[in-house]
Structure 1
Amino acid sequence: MTSGHGLTRQGFLGAALAASLGGGATAQSAELHRRPIPASGETLPVIGLGTWRGFDVGPNPAERAPLREVVATLLARGGRVIDSSPMYGHAEGVTGDLVVQVAPRERPFLATKVWTSGHEAGIAQMQRSLRLLRTERLDLMQIHNLLDWRTHLPTLREWKDRGRIRYLGISHYTESAYDAVEAVLKAERLDFLQINYALDDRAAEERLLPLAADMGVAVLVNRPFGGGGLLRRLAHAPLPDYAAEIGCASWAEILLKFVVSHPAVTCAIPGTADPGHMAANLRAGTGPLPDEPLRRRMAATLPL
């Protein structure tokens, strides 16, 4: 099947695999694997940052200090993608402030969402996001939870044509919405899909991830730790014997390596407010990734 952007699924998955070892790096390289955005060929590191909950803080410098280090760690170690939303409280404004303070050499890939009903309300919300994120152009605007998507999608296309956003997409995080997500992916030309996917939440593997590859749509993964509950359940479980084979020192790294080893996944965006966790998350984007036999084994032997 030919993708919506002129790539075959086989060609896209092959390009994704090649890009994940980008720049001639070997599997043992400490550099982050990268995957292509099918719409453009631009590559993104496979680990990014989500700002839900953790970045919803006030102006107190003590509250923001660890978040500044999280952003600095992400960008200094090769990450680029930072995802936010108007529904995340103060997160957009905090993100914008911290990126300016960190002043990275390479511009981060800033993604946010429109989450309201109505044409004018959508425009007003997106303009506010630009101000809060301190940028004149966003890398990615997503229609959150498909809310009023038929109204917002033409606006996003217009903004993309005018250069106010670089990419457009949709997002969701509940399996009950997968039929609607699938219908939109089939009907509309999109650049990105953001969806939930984790070692204990693999429903997206059935249709959505293969469809995204078929249609030439990049995939951001939210909730790669199963919404957080999975990590808590695994806290006292011993690491499996394959952990050393794929260079993992924690369950968090194992869970992330499973997610980003799927060839349709472009980038996982785990949320954290802890600089140490950010560093560990980034390690999961380096070194060997599970192959398909190991992925099946991981799913079959997950201790729950």
Structure 2
Amino acid sequence: MASFVFAPGCGPQKADSTDSAGGATDDTTGDEGASAGETTSSSVTTGATDTTGPGTTDGGDSTPTGMSTEGDPEETAGTSDTTGAPAGCPADDPATSAAFKVSLDAWPDRSDEEHLVDSLCDIDAVDVAGAVVITTLTCDVDGVARGAKFEFAVAPEGAVDWQVGQAVAFHSRAKNSEFSGDTALHVTLADDPSRLLVDGRDVWGVGLPVSEDIGPIHREIVMECTADDLGEEKNNELRYSLMSGAELTVWAGSRGSLAIDASRVFAIDLAQSGSICCHGDEERSLIRRVLSE
């Protein structure tokens, strides 16, 4: 079985001696707009009912923090206003796991390490092996059936919310150089691109967007903290929200869940977001739609 490998980077460190604790609706049925459901995070607020408001659309994307095909997250590059940010960063949560892996089975001119994939696929299997969930696909590649799979850690909240027989839009990108890394995975239902199943990012050496829409989720940088004694490394605090009013705020190095409805959540692991070591800006995150237990 393939093993997880995180992108190289330096983890957050304590600063000084201070420790701190720590779009549019998803579909026409209002599934992602619901606000009920349990939450596990440092700061979570859930809304009461579906509300109308500014729409979120999935647009094209050519920057490393999103996906490069239609229906993928929209981004606005820049830096955050961090006035009043705390000096020291919260300690990392050891339960955070944003690693993911994509494997392609003999795709022409594409490898696991370097590829750009935009295909319609059918889910053949969803297997759990120890602490890892593996989703196996058969994809249409220029009229030829090709195999693929993606895998990541099982979420503490519950099992993934997709199943064998479903058709999905499978977007994956992997391209790395000496000065930047760019690995991204974005999976939605094929007949409903607003129904987000997975969004994973492992990027460095690029400016992180201040705000963007990831399917039905609006993501924004709230503030930053100092992650090293010299004040040169910074970690971001991010807010993820739905139009229903459901909201999750997490620091880099932590995780939580964003309520979709009474039985489903987005499990969000934010392993890194901010400026780190020699990589410049870096973000490692994983969002997956799961059934809450």
Q: TM-score range by the shorter chain?
A: under 0.3
Could you tell me the TM-score, scaled by structure 1's length? 0.26
More helix by share: 1
User: Structure with the greater relative contact order (CA < 8 A, sep ≥ 6): 1 or 2?
Assistant: 2
